[in-house]
Chain A
């Protein structure tokens, strides 16, 4: 039976461990923000199958929410991560968002008012090894780097047939992503979370048509990641 070579012992006795580094399988995790007060929502605090923080029904995550293996709260022992930046996307969960001031927009778009409220109030704190903070900056500092470049001519929403105004968390192309001036190394087994808090204690004015409405924030780690080779 063929077996994967995972290490090579050299003549002098030193052992080289082979690893598989890739930047094509980025690590990501999701939290959901509701209207009203919250303390902290921690991305990467749960593994695939664990409950999504902030979700209306504490729903179990699937591959659209996260690809983190294990119990969460740390990087798996056999992985490592060179963190070049964070890219944070926003999606409305629920039927529509907004509505009190401007017409509601179709989910999963985020209305321009809700997006600017999030950018104004949400702070993103990256913790590695639970000792130091590696970011403490507003949501807007970490553009999505993905999204829809829209062209509209008398565009209308599907549900209410009204005009709309939507917004993305920054630019919608990979070139719009923000890279750290110096990358961060997360070693296998290191405690690692990305915490979302609101400066005023809540996202002031966040507005949904649906009482269970949420904004899902999916944070993706930009940079190479070491995975086991077997």
Chain B
């Protein structure tokens, strides 16, 4: 049996916990012509992925690693250092004037990402009915810590398929914008990262998008 607490000579009891590097991740999806107001970290595997303008889909393990919906489990706690994300195309980005594609799904075109950065916001909220976010900014503020580093020849890369892809900075852990002060989330506390487009649908967005958000940090879990 594991030792879970230590009683000191002075009567004090020290509870033992395991803290480990355990970023949380969660996915939302939206159609190109949809207004977005979606709560990530609001579901577990097997529950519906929050979607705007798209048919219902149940989450699989590549969508989230949350063990309970909308909150930190009662026997866990979390310290967040950073928010980062990856975007995947759910449809191709086509050139308006012809059949050629700028980016074939699951790639995200540079246009799509730039428009998301310009018209989308993220708000990280902790606690029930909290209107004050712990972190909030336009998407452009949060750089990309995971993703492909892409290289292409200067010539055509396919028949009827051009290439224009983008990432939010060169994907690297060093590229993540870290919170100057880490954000502590106590056990059983509600969390959400709200993904919104305050002005309505993103103008001229060319693709339906999957956005996988990460709360990078450490998690406390029971030792036994």
Indicate if A69 sits at the interface (CB-CB under 8 A): no
**In angstroms, how far is the closest chain B Cβ from the Cβ of A58?**
26
Q: Contact at B172–A170, with CB atoms within 8 Å?
A: yes
Minimal Cβ-Cβ distance residue in B for A177: B173
Nearest residue in B to A112 (C-beta to C-beta)? B150
Also in contact, A166 and B61, with CB within 8 A (given A137-B23, A143-B172):
no
**Residues on B with beta carbons closer than 8 Å to the beta carbon of A152:** 151-154
| B151: A residues at CB distance < 8 A | 148, 150, 152, 165-168
**Stretch in B30-38, B115-123, B156-164 with 4+ CB within 8 Å of A:** B156-164
CB distance from B65 to the nearest CB of A (A): 5
A193-215 residues at the B interface, CB under 8 angstroms: 197-201, 205
Answer whether A119 and B61 are a contact pair too, CB < 8 Å, given A154-B154, A156-B155, A165-B163: no
Cβ A175 vs Cβ B172 within 8 A: yes
User: Which stretch (B130-138, B141-149, B187-195) binds chain A?
Assistant: B141-149
Smallest beta-carbon distance A151→chain B, Å:
8
Q: Are B161 and A101 in contact (CB under 8 A)?
A: yes
Chain B residues whose C-beta falls within 8 Å of the C-beta of A200 in the assembled complex: 60, 62
Q: Does A181 sit within 8 A of B, measured CB to CB? A: yes
Smallest Cβ distance from A209 to chain B, in angstroms? 14
Distance A164 CA – B148 CA, assembled complex (angstroms): 15
A94 CB to nearest chain B CB (Å): 19
* Pair B154/A163 contact, Cβ less than 8 Å: yes
Among residues of B, the one whose C-beta sits closest to the C-beta of A153 is: B154
Q: Is A171 an interface residue (CB 8 A)?
A: yes
Q: Is there an interface contact between A101 and B104, defined as CB atoms closer than 8 Å?
A: yes
Beta-carbon contact of A198 and B62 below 8 Å: yes
On whether A102 and B149 interact (CB within 8 A), knowing A122-B62, A176-B172, A199-B62, the answer reads no
CB within 8 Å of B: which residues of A?
A: 101-103, 112-113, 115-117, 119-123, 134-138, 140-141, 143, 147-148, 150, 152-156, 162-172, 175-182, 184, 197-201, 205
Extra pairs beyond A147-B149, A154-B154, A172-B149 (8, CB < 8 Å): A102-B161, A120-B210, A121-B62, A152-B152, A154-B155, A155-B154, A171-B170, A200-B60
Residues of B within 8 A of A (CB): 19-23, 25, 60-63, 65, 81, 86, 88, 104, 106-107, 146-158, 161, 163, 165, 170-174, 210, 212, 214, 217-218
